[in-house]
A and B are shown apart, each in its own frame.
Chain A
Amino acid sequence: MLKLTDLCKRYPTGDEALKKVSLEIPNGQAVALIGPSGAGKSTLIRCVNRLVEPTSGSVQLNDVELTTLSSGKLRAQRRSIGMIFQEYALVERLTVMENVLSGRLGYVGFWKSWLRRYPGEDIKEAFRLLDRVGIMHMADKRADELSGGQRQRVGIARALIQNPELLLIDEPTASLDPKTSREIMRLIRELCQERNLAAIINIHDVMLAQMFAERVVGLRFGEIVYDGPPDGLTPDVLTEIYGEEDWEATIETVENEDVETADAVDHAT
């Protein structure tokens, strides 16, 4: 379980990215974090694993307070927090396999990782995950030879090999086409269910959020303005999150498009 209490972040420029955000996410729940650009979505998930240092407030993962940890202990905790990035953030010039194995870096010593001598169990698990995300035949390819969807699959495998308790997912579909976006989101949802993972998914596509998350949190100017089920996203709520716009069209398409039929189409291809 992840518990944020009164989390604040003020950048040196004076921008207040987060204003006393409190949020509780039980295990096995995938939460979609929506909101306009600059609402603080990215800052929020980076404050959890302290890629961005929060100014005040507390972050607790399974009752361990993360904000006060020393850097060594923080690294140990980061191992149980998987992160998936917007532009995949793979190390482009390393092979797919090395990218996946890099998820184990927190568990292996420096020289072993330098010489690429990972334990057999890790390599087995890496192959299993690559197979699970459907790109095992790509293991020896260099990451920059892959397409966007394939790269994001590598990114997912890298996060999962950490054997995490929590997934932080930053705009996983921002640079993918609509079909691949859905495939990736479906994969993420399935994996969360399989492993009973808590997940925060930053996403700016309201439709995808409604389709694949069981809970939606709306963020505006660093404050939570909505927290509830996906079907509670009425035009009024969206106006509150994003500002004035004709929201009927967005919601209507979602209602017309049944999630199950979309699944069937994707499986057929």
Chain B
Amino acid sequence: MSDAVTPKNYPSIWKKPPLIKRGWLRWSLWFGAAIYLAIGFGTLEVDWQRVSEGIPRGQRFLSAFFPPDIFSRWDSILDGILESIWMTVISTVAGIALSVPVGLGAAKNLAPKPVYMVCRFIVALSRTFPEVILAIFAVKLFGFGPFAGFIALSIATVGFYAKLLAEDIEDMDPVQAEAIRSTGASWFQWVNYAVQPQVMPRMIGLAVYRLDINFRESAVVGIVGGGGIGATLLTAFDRYEFDSAAAILLIIIAIVMGLEYASGYLRQKVQ
């Protein structure tokens, strides 16, 4: 057709158009990143001598890790694991129970403005601080032991679960909600018939996921005195019983894996 009649000269160079169109912005981003990395690495302050000392130490560490020794500290390991599990269960249940009202209040399409503000504030506050910091203060207030860990994990659960619940409610299908509202249902009936069925499946999945997180976190609240397996782990490290520590870590991994399978199974079932 036309190309046969008039042979055109086509360019033989082509460059992919850059992601960021403005040249100066692109270059200053690259430049900024390079400078940041240079300064960042510069302030790492690595004590290379200490690190090189650490390599044989790491090898000893690893060889002490294998084979893991479950038996010599079996009583305290079992005790710690069980304590972690109890803590996990009750803090997940209590946390979720508290999350439901907070989450409903923090959903923009459900709650009046003042309630919304208060609930959002609660969520933001309980989300900010890592579980460990919450645990430090819980230990100061409630004394050593699993109760402090329970309080810390429950607060963290509220921050996590209420936020996701509120977001899920905000994302729900408004048509279904409108249909139920148009029947003249009261607010509670409306929540029960329009909101609950829509958010339930995902929320059950998230509850199991949070159970999983709480179990993992229960290992660290123990480091600051919040009870559970963390305390046992810290003792093992302090006494240089790395084989026991390895056993504890493997048990944690195994339980988390089990929980992951359980949550996968449960999510398939409810969806």
Contact = CB atoms under 8 A, between A and B. Distances in A.
Interface of B: 1, 3, 8, 10-17
A88 interface: no
Interface string A98-124: 100100000000000000101011011
Given A121-B12, A128-B3, 18 more contacts: A98-B16, A116-B15, A118-B14, A120-B12, A120-B13, A123-B10, A123-B11, A123-B13, A123-B14, A124-B10, A124-B11, A124-B12, A128-B10, A131-B3, A131-B8, A131-B10, A132-B3, A139-B14
A205 interface: no
Contacts of A124: 10-12
A6 interface: no
A97 B14 contact: yes
A127 B8 CA distance: 10
Contacts of B8: 128, 131
Given A128-B3, A131-B3, A132-B3, A116 B16 contact: yes
A190 interface: yes
A97 to B, nearest CB: 6
B17 to A, nearest CB: 5
Contacts, number: 36
- Majority SS at the chain B contact face: loop
B183 to A, nearest CB: 41
22 contacts: A95-B16, A95-B17, A97-B16, A116-B15, A116-B16, A118-B14, A120-B12, A123-B10, A123-B13, A123-B14, A124-B11, A125-B10, A126-B14, A127-B10, A127-B11, A127-B14, A128-B3, A128-B8, A131-B3, A132-B1, A139-B14, A190-B1
- Majority SS at the chain A contact face: helix
Nearest to A100: B14
Contacts of B17: 95, 140
Interface string A248-265: 000000000000000000
B37 to A, nearest CB: 22
Contacts of A118: 14
Contacts of A97: 14, 16
Contacts of B15: 116
Contacts of A125: 10
B1, B13, B16 interface centre (most CB from chain A within 10 Å):
B16
Contacts of B3: 128, 131-132
Contacts of B16: 95, 97-98, 116
A101 B15 CA distance: 12
Contacts of A126: 14
Nearest to B15: A116
Contacts of A132: 1, 3
A205 to B, nearest CB: 25
Interface string A78-99: 0000000000000000010110
A2 B83 CA distance: 72
Nearest to B7: A128
Given A95-B17, A140-B17, A123 B1 contact: no
A131 B10 CA distance: 9
Contacts of A101: 14
Contacts of B10: 123-125, 127-128, 131
Contacts of B12: 120-121, 123-124
Nearest to B3: A132
A116 B11 CA distance: 15
A120 B14 CA distance: 9
Nearest to A128: B10
A118 B12 CA distance: 9
A10 B228 CA distance: 57
B23 to A, nearest CB: 16
Contacts of A127: 10-11, 14
